[in-house]
Amino acid sequence: MTPIAKGKKRRSEIADDEAAIKEFDAKILTPRKKSGEVSHPRDEVSSVQVRNIMADEIEAIAEETGTKLDRLNAYEFYAFNLWLELHVRNGITARDQKVPMVKCSEHA
């Protein structure tokens, strides 16, 4: 084996490292697909619409109980956190569908 100068050895190590870094970067930047395309039902309601509806209902409940609750708190805090828990963590979706009105015997 022939001796190699320290400078040449360092340069070859640096070149090897740069090549390894380029290979690693190329590997990281290629997108990975874990599953195929996700199909959404045609009547699925967007998360923004669901949060707005939930915020409206939360405000109405607060008014009925005599509590003052502004729109920002109803939307940003309560509705957003509730929908985040339901949609993201539990996989629940909202769909638009007709629901029959059920009335009591007094209002029928």
Residue 101 lies in a domain: no
Q: Phi/psi at 69 (nearest 5 deg)?
A: -135, 120
Residue with tokens 């009547």, as numbered in its chain: 43
User: Could you write out the DSSP letters of every residue in 72-105?
Assistant: HIIIIIIIHHHHIIIIIIT----B----PPP--T
Q: How does pLDDT run across 36-90, given as a tens digit for each residue?
A: 676 777 778 888 888 888 889 888 888 999 988 888 888 878 888 888 888 888 8
In a domain, 34, yes or no: no
Question: Is residue 96 included in any domain, yes or no?
Answer: no
Q: What angle do CA 91, 97, 99 make, to 5 degrees?
A: 115
Tens of pLDDT, residues 89-107: 888 888 888 878 888 877 7
How many domains would you assign to the chain?
1
pTM of the model: 0.52
Assess if residue 61 is contained within a domain: yes
The torsion of the CA quartet 54, 56, 60, 66, rounded to 10 degrees, works out to: 90
- Cβ–Cβ < 8 Å for 106, 73: no
Place of tokens 């509590």: 67
Please check whether residue 22 lies inside any domain of the structure: no
- Structural domain containing residue 59: 47-89
Query: In this structure, is residue 97 part of a structural domain?
Result: no
Q: Which neighbouring-strand residues pair with 44? A: 95
